[in-house]
Amino acid sequence: MIKKINIVLAVFAFVLISACGGSDDPSGGGLPITPVTNSAPSVVSQLIFPTSDQLCIDNTIEFNWSVSTDADGDGVTYRVKIGLDRDLTNIVEQFIATSNSTTVTLTPGTAYYWNVTATDNQDDAAPSATFAFYTEGTGVANYAPFTAALNAPALETSINAGNTTLDWTGGDADIDDTLTYDLYFSDTATPALLQTDVATSTFDVTTVAATTYFWRVDTKDNNGVKTIGQVWTFSTN
């Protein structure tokens, strides 16, 4: 009889331990743990200095931009890129700033492009707009135009075939210069010359379906100085 009681007690103890013991579930068998998602900071909405197409009379420049905010209250820092092309593939300066301004010394007589990306060290916001500026050179009477900036169609997007408006923005540190454009456009990776001396910054072309197009805009000033643009691409549905 005692042996049967001991067996019953042992079984009861085993069941009790199994019911109240630990679990492989890290939540302890309770409600599932919801992972915490991080929100990226807001985009830097304004590049305050240098402004777009500015001629800087000093090559030591205090860069300044608008403040980014973070919905989670995280600390925000800023990745500043300065390059020699609008796509910022040829970077000459890149650094992290803890405030919304920093001072950099650059080469005189050079066209630069810059943007700022806010980060909370977990996620990046989208980059700001990219602005062009010139550092003034000794004895320079005329500056080459900046490379054209793409407006539409957006880079590597797909659009409906038919009548398509190519749209870009030109710029020059010499504010009195008159700009014209040579337009290259075709379905080959090295686009063919389509039109010279375009006086506006838009041009209508006809596209066909299921085709990838490549285009480029070279910018010229009234002194005969030309800046070769970058090749852009889009596809048609």
114 and 163 share a domain?
Answer: no
User: Considering the domain boundaries, does residue 76 fall inside one?
Assistant: yes
Domain containing 91 equals 47-135
119 and 56 share a domain?
Answer: yes
pLDDT along the chain (237 residues), means of 10: 50 47 52 80 97 94 97 96 96 97 95 97 95 88 93 98 98 95 97 98 98 98 94 97
Q: Which of 114, 135, 156 is the last residue of a domain?
A: 135
**Within 13 Å and on the Cβ side, how many CA atoms surround 106?**
31
Q: What is the distance between the alpha carbons of residues 178 and 27, in angstroms, rounded to a whole number?
A: 69
Q: Which of 101, 135, 169 is the last residue of a domain?
A: 135
127 and 150 share a domain?
Answer: no
User: Considering the domain boundaries, does residue 16 fall inside one?
Assistant: no
pLDDT of residue 121: 87
pLDDT of residue 1: 52
Residue 57 belongs to domain with CATH number: 2.60.40.10
Q: Which residues contact 46 (CB under 8 A, 6 or more apart)?
A: 65, 66, 128
User: Considering the domain boundaries, does residue 181 fall inside one?
Assistant: yes
pLDDT of residue 141: 79
User: Considering the domain boundaries, does residue 30 fall inside one?
Assistant: no
User: Considering the domain boundaries, does residue 112 fall inside one?
Assistant: yes
User: Considering the domain boundaries, does residue 22 fall inside one?
Assistant: no
Alpha-carbon torsion 10, 14, 17, 20, what sign? negative
51 and 82 share a domain?
Answer: yes
Q: Which of 88, 106, 135 is the last residue of a domain?
A: 135
202 and 128 share a domain?
Answer: no
155 and 223 share a domain?
Answer: yes
User: Considering the domain boundaries, does residue 126 fall inside one?
Assistant: yes
